[in-house]
Amino acid sequence: MAQRWHDLLFAHWPVSAAQMRALVPAELELDTFRGEAWVGIVPFRMSGIRLRGTPPVPGLSAFPELNLRTYVRHEDKPGVWFFTLEASQPVAVGVARRWFHLPYHRARMVCRREGEDIHYASRRADRRGAAASFVARYGPCGPARIAAPGTLEHWLVERYCLYALGPGRGLLRGLQPPGRVVDLAAAHAIDLGRCQPLLHFARLQEVVVWTPEALG
C-alpha cells in the first residue's frame, strides 16, 4: 500500500520497563532507551490510501487516525507495538483488523487546521474496547530538522517496522517506512505519571506499507 500522513504529533512519556513488560506479548523483547521504556500517542491525518499501482478510492482514502504505542524488538529488529489504533473510517478499521491483525477501533474524530496549529479530538465509538478519548491542539514551534542517530529523538521516531499477533498468537511483522490524553492511556491500563511529554511534529510523511510476514 501507499499513503500519506499529515500533521503528525509525536507525544512521548517515559514509563517503567516493568509496567510495559506486563503489557507487551512475551514473544517480543521490550525495547528501551538507557533503561527506560516509552509510550507514544500519535495523532495525524491520512490521505491517498491505495493499493500500489491503483488510484485512491473516494470516501475511503482520507481520514484521521490516532495510535497508542510502545517500542519492541524481535531478533534485533526494532519496531512498534500498538495498544490501539483509532480511525474514523469503519471500512478501513475492518480491513486493518482482518488483514494486518492490528487492534483498530472506530472513533468519532475531528482534525482541523487553524493557522499553523492543528485541533484534534477523538472519542472511541467501538464496543470492542473501553471508553477512550483524546483532545489536543498542537503545531510546529521551530524549523524542521533531522534527528541525529544515537539520540532519543531518532530512537523514538525512526521506526519502520510494526509487530502484531495473528491467529493462534503467531507473531507477524509489517514494514513501513500537548493535550488531554488520560482517557486513552487509562483505557489500556497505562499510567503515564505526572511528567510532561516530549513533543515532536512532522508536517508530512510519505509511506509505503508491505504485506505482513509471519515470523517463526
Residue 157 vs residue 183, higher pLDDT: 157
Label residue 216 by pLDDT band (50, 70, 90): low
Cα(123)–Cα(156) distance, rounded to whole angstroms?
26
Q: Is residue 17 scored above 80 in pLDDT?
A: yes
pLDDT 10s digits, 40-72: 999 999 999 888 778 887 778 899 999 999 999
Cα(45)–Cα(28) distance, rounded to whole angstroms?
29
| 40 in Cβ contact with 169 (< 8 Å) | no
pLDDT 10s digits, 96-148: 898 889 999 999 999 999 999 999 999 999 999 899 999 999 999 888 888 99
How much is the pLDDT for 90?
Answer: 94
How much is the pLDDT for 180?
Answer: 43
Cα(170)–Cα(213) distance, rounded to whole angstroms?
10
Q: How many helices (H) and strands (E) does the chain have?
A: 4, 13
Residue 156 vs residue 194, higher pLDDT: 156
Cα(87)–Cα(65) distance, rounded to whole angstroms?
5
C-alpha cell at 76: 534485533
C-alpha cell at 36: 527506560
Q: Cell 500519506 appears where?
A: 4
Domains of the chain: 2-214 (2.40.400.10)
How much is the pLDDT for 57?
Answer: 78
Label residue 193 by pLDDT band (50, 70, 90): confident
User: In degrees to the nearest 10, what's the CA dihedral of 67, 111, 209, 28?
Assistant: -10
Cα(177)–Cα(209) distance, rounded to whole angstroms?
7
Give burial (CB, 10 Å; 0-12/13-18/19+) of 174. Answer: buried
